Amino acid sequence: MCGIAGTYRWPDGKAVADRLTDTLAHRGPDGSGRYGRSVGDGEVHLGHRRLAIVDLSDTGAQPMASDGLVLTYNGELYNAPELRAELAAAGTRFRGTSDTEVLLEAWRRWGTDCLPRLRGMFAFGVFDERTGELVLVRDQLGIKPLFLMRRGEGLVFASELKALAAVTGGTPEVDHAALVASLLYYWVPDSRCALRGAEKLPPGSWLRLRPDGRTERGRFWDLREVAAEGRDRARAGEVPDLAAVVEESTRRHLLSDVPVATFLSGGLDSSWLTALAARHRPGIAAYTIGFRAEDARFEAMPDDLRYARQVARRFGVDLREIEIAPDVLDLLPRMTYHLDEPIGDPAAINTFLICSAAREAGVKVMLSGMGADELFAGYRKHLANLLAVRYRRVPGPVRRGVSAAVDRLPVASARRGYRSVRFAKRFLSFADLPEETAFRRSYTMYDRGELLGLIDPDLAGTVDDVLAEHADVYRDNDLDDFVNRMCLGDARMFLPGLNLAYTDRSSMAASTEVRVPYVDVEVVRAAFAVPGDRKIVGRQGKAALKEAATSILPREIVYRPKGLFSAPLRAWMSRDLAPLVREVVNDGELVRSGFLRRDALRRLVEQDAAGHQDYSKHLWHVLTLEHWYRGLVSGAGAGHGPSPTA
């Protein structure tokens, strides 16, 4: 895991590439490298910051140049041993043991045809000195980031947006649609970028730049095709062995020349990975989090620690517990800086603090259970949307009566929150809606009317564009399985846009690599070969995965109530962050710019404070958006530019 950057036919390319690379120092504190060469009437410059994981010697240093090819690469290849053996059998001679060299030689032998053969997480740029071509590539599922910006025939790229914004000159402008999408989702979809002119290379794709100015794009992996193939496999009666697939993926993800540990929440996904990892690496360390007792009680959070301790005892895991009682006023601006774009999920703080603690203990690599919920229908929204189909059959007068009764219930008192009431209000906010709209509303922050009431009215057309994009992505398949349609939508939007994005940026802020064994091409193929009625059985989400996990985990862990890798937002909002909320609502940059409406924000604060509605997540995201924008305006964050409504 590293930071990569470069320029291609860009003015003052060497100096720009050097600044890009320096900005990424936290991603690779173990070493740095530079490469430059003339190409056509310009130059190419590649930079690299190294976090040494496999082959710690200089033979793994980058940019790696060999016989006319130069590679700057961020990631890990979990099938590198097999590829190495195949290449060696064909006559390739290797200098070291790094997967970087395997990737370089695979490219030399097969070119872009090597890409579907790669199993791992990666973003890289490879330059061919003979042709003068630069090719940029991003992994199948968007685990690793790759930002780029083009001007004329020139291009800059980097692992983080802040690097691009800091060196491209001029005043980067906010992309209005990305900010509107951020308010809707509390994250920026992978198809958009917070700064106008910048973009993210799509997952499973490549971009080729030629010295004559021509470009070519290609796709080597498509989730829609994988999902359709999975449907056909299920229809043919194929039943994937999930236990074997997940164990094999976990074993591969342990490949490392440095210590590896796991996240352990005590829930199914992290517990299964930890148990499997302990089978292959006895005594492996695991990190878990807890919260101040008063915060957890106010949030009505489940006691995850006791389950994590149970797993650790059973499998001989070295459990390290971290109490999350952060100075959120200090962490908020730091996290918004590192997250690059406005991302309002407080789980990013948890990830950063866990990775920081692990790094201090000498751990460079962590395994995470990320992705299992998206692929195997483990979120409450998946079950809730299925229940909503049945709920819509209830007579209208009865539904209206239920809605009115639940609306009168408080979500919190002065001392504690009422989780079941929050869930009920959330369910009723989308239960009557059509399929795609209901699915979107089940995990987004606002409906169309609420969003329009919150922002500059001139952005109404932008709101409609953002909503239409969700509908287009959700419907862009021919699956006849409602549950797998939701899983495909999550794998294409929710997973790369939020969970993989904050995981990469938060962990790399602590110079730590996080690997995600469930977000593996073979696990994904198996996931979509599981019919929806095996993923959700009765009221049991992730049923097929749970059944497979019983091969190693006790049923108490497998079938425990779902926990939350989140934070006690209501407690933070009512205590630590209350003065900041008032400041942002009354005199924040986004309010003064006209992007957000002061009266609408005040209503959110009042209803949340009264305990009538739970708007803690909404207000937390407003704070993250405000701090991101302040950094933008001041030049301390991702750049600086005009107001979002300019």
Residues with catalytic function: 2
Residue 224 DSSP SS3 = helix
Per this entry, what is the length of the chain?
646
Check whether 99 is labelled as a binding-site residue: yes
Q: Residue 199 — φ and ψ, nearest 5°?
A: -150, 165
Residue 169: exposed, middle, or buried by beta-carbon count in 10 A (0-12, 13-18, 19+)?
A: exposed
Could you give the C-alpha distances from 281 to 28, 262, 284, 455, in angstroms and in order?
26, 11, 6, 52
Preceding amide of 496 cis, omega within 30: no
Sign of CA dihedral 262, 353, 339, 374: positive
**633's tokens:** 């305006």
> What is the DSSP code string of 330-387?
HHHHHHHHHHSS----THHHHHHHHHHHHHHTT--EEE--TTHHHHHT-SHHHHHHHH
Terminus-to-terminus CA distance in the chain, angstroms? 38
369 is in an annotated binding site: yes
Structure tokens at 331: 């962490």
Tokens of 431: 């239960």
Question: In sequence order, what are the residues at sequence separation of 6 or more whose Cβ sits closer than 8 angstroms to the Cβ of residue 171?
Answer: 639, 640, 641, 642
Contact 43, 12 (CB under 8 A): no
Q: Does 289 belong to an annotated binding site? A: yes
* Residue 154 one-letter amino acid: G
Within 10 A of 120 (CB to CB), how many other CB atoms are there?
22
> C-alpha dihedral over 529, 530, 531, 535, to 10 degrees?
-150
**Using an 8 Å Cβ cutoff, are 234 and 525 in contact?**
no
Q: What interhelical angle do 328-339 and 616-634 show, nearest 10?
A: 60
Which amino acids are annotated as binding site for L-glutamine, given as ranges? 99
Which amino acids are annotated as binding site, given as ranges? 99, 289, 368-369
Which amino acids are annotated as binding site for ATP, given as ranges? 289, 368-369
